[in-house]
Amino acid sequence: MERRDFLKVMGVSLATAASGALPQTFLDVAHASSVNAITRLPESDTARFAWTVDDGCSPDAVKAYINFVADNYLRLTFFVYAGVSPWQTQRKLLKPLVESGQIQLANHTMRHPLLTKLTTKQVQKELMDCHNFMERNYGIDAKPYYRPPYGGINAAVIDAAADIGYTKPMLWSGTLGDSGNIGSAKFMTLANRGMRDHGIVLGHANNMVAPNHFDRLLEIVNSRGLSTVTLTDAFGE
Ligand SMILES: [Zn+2]
């Protein structure tokens, strides 16, 4: 993407977020090579990957994911963007799965900003506002896992987060490309590429693209003999 277009899209989504409406456009941008963020699972005896789902702008998608996980004995991690409503409206459905450990909640900030543009104090406030929301609504301590919005991370962000106990910055090894709308063929190509042993797969609960393909995603998981794990399953804390 051209820088000009990148800024345009970013401007739109940040402005929308600030107004309290659901942002329509998200980017998959990562700069993992230059910093110490985590993009893969550690070695294990079984073939497995972490299915991680960000944001939660669509109540229908959040609900569909919860039912999908429950019905198919999957394990999944939501990176909660606490500023959007489904994390409150779907709480009754979600909380039992969080309590059983089948679904893990991790930190994706309160307002979904680009953390690299913020001061240390602002980064910490973004994480702690989301942290406190999850503690209040789900009774959990979400540390140490967080994912920076847009994958925007640098050493200053990592240090600011680590100082308050968020010591595991999580990026991804493969993306489903569904932060905004994406065509079916492209989506399935990305899913086939991303769902692999040791993988950390990034999806989004912002639209119904993934739910509309759940059967086909499950087919990939099963045909490859993969199991799904939460971050706590994989990293042991
Ligand atoms: Zn996000």
Does the residue 165 lie in any domain? yes
Ligand 1 centre distance from Cα of residue 148 (Å): 7
Task: Note whether residue 17 is domain-resident.
Answer: no
Instruction: Please indicate, yes or no, if residue 1 is contained in any of the structural domains.
Output: no
How far apart (Å, rounded) are the C-alpha atoms in residues 67 and 73? 10
222 belongs to a structural domain: yes
Q: How is residue 22 written in tokens?
A: 């659901």
How far, in Å, from the CA of 54 to the mean position of ligand 1?
5
Question: How far is the centre of ligand 1, averaged over its atoms, from the C-alpha of 45 (Å)?
Answer: 31
Rounded to the nearest whole angstrom, what is the distance from the C-alpha of residue 237 to the centroid of ligand 1? 23
In the chain, the number of structural domains is: 1
∠ Cα 173 192 63 (to 5°): 80
- Please list, residue by residue across 53-82, b when 16 or more beta carbons sit within 10 angstroms of its beta carbon and e when fewer do: bbbbbbbebbbbbbebbbeeebbbbbbbbb
Instruction: Give the DSSP per-residue string, 35-59.
Output: TT-B-BPPP-SS-EEEEEEEE---H
121 alpha carbon – ligand 1 mean position (Å): 20
pLDDT at 187: 98
**pTM beyond 0.85, yes or no:** yes
Q: Distance from the CA of 232 to the center of ligand 1, in angstroms?
A: 20
CATH number of the domain that 228 lies in? 3.20.20.370
Q: Is residue 215 part of a domain?
A: yes
- Please indicate, yes or no, if residue 200 is contained in any of the structural domains: yes
Residue ranges with CB less than 5 Å from ion ligand 1: 54-55, 149
Angle, alpha carbons 107-131-211 (nearest 5°): 40
Are 137 and 98 in contact by the 8 Å Cβ rule? The answer is no
User: Along the 237 residues of the chain, how does pLDDT read in single tens digits?
Assistant: 334 343 333 433 433 333 333 343 444 444 444 468 999 999 999 999 999 999 999 999 999 999 999 999 999 999 999 999 999 999 999 999 999 999 999 999 999 999 999 999 999 999 999 999 999 999 999 999 999 999 999 999 999 999 999 999 999 999 999 999 999 999 999 999 999 999 999 999 999 999 999 999 999 999 999 999 999 999 998
Range of the domain at 158: 23-235
Question: Is there a domain that residue 8 lies in?
Answer: no
Question: What long-range pairs does 119-123 form, CB within 8 A, spacing at least 24?
Answer: 120/156, 120/159, 120/160, 120/163, 123/156, 123/157, 123/160, 123/161
Is 10 a member of any domain?
A: no
